[in-house]
Amino acid sequence: MILKKGVYFAIFLSLTGCSYEEGTKLANSHSESGVEKEEDTPLETSISNDEPSLEITVPPKEDLNSNKGSTDVLSNLETSITHEQISTDNHLYFQIKNTSEHSFTFHFETTQQYLYKIYKEDGEIVEEQDNSIMKKIPSTYFLKPGGSVNYKVSTKKLSTGTYKVIFTFLSKEKTIKKSFNFTVK
């Protein structure tokens, strides 16, 4: 029973980011306040076994805090769109780059991570992503420091003229919209 509580306590500490000392103080304050009383037995801070360690993919709390400067991954994202025309094929590249020193995991409500729409110069929608292929399964994307998320859209439907594409990145943490004007020759 005590070992089971020790395991729960260790998991609690790793998920909340508390140090062992802070967690011990918290546990002792509950015991002293009469919430739970137990014999004084030392708690193990780690349990060794041969199984691989568990990697937690929930973004650290400080990554979402805009007051932390360099640890704020969301404000250190660079987005870009480029266009390349090869014969009649048009390729649009949407990139989101992590310029911070910290990793980050983006969470999505579905398997679809982005949307795009291509407009003619007069505002008429020429092409947009087919939403019927979207699966209602949550997904994630882990982004290392200096790493990037890259999406490529190819189309042959565009005739000579000026167009505008709008990409929308659909993460739960931050929705990013970026537009780009390009010309098809």
Q: What CATH number has the domain bearing residue 97? A: 2.60.40.2360
Q: Check residue 156 and give its pLDDT.
A: 87
Query: Looking at the 3D structure of the chain, how many domains does it have?
Result: 2
Q: Check residue 95 and give its pLDDT.
A: 97
CA distance 107 to 64: 13
What is the bridge-based pairing of β-strands 139-143 and 104-108? antiparallel
Q: Check residue 81 and give its pLDDT.
A: 97
Q: Check residue 14 and give its pLDDT.
A: 57
Q: Give the range of the structural domain holding residue 25, as residue numbers without chain letter.
A: 2-48
Q: Check residue 15 and give its pLDDT.
A: 57
Tokens of 67: 């007051």
Query: In a 3-state reduction of DSSP, which class is residue 68?
Result: coil
- Do 164 and 120 share a domain, yes or no? yes
Low-confidence ranges of the chain (pLDDT < 70): 1-71, 132-134
Q: Check residue 139 and give its pLDDT.
A: 92
Q: Check residue 106 and give its pLDDT.
A: 96
Secondary structure letter of residue 56 according to DSSP: P
Residue 32 lies in a domain: yes
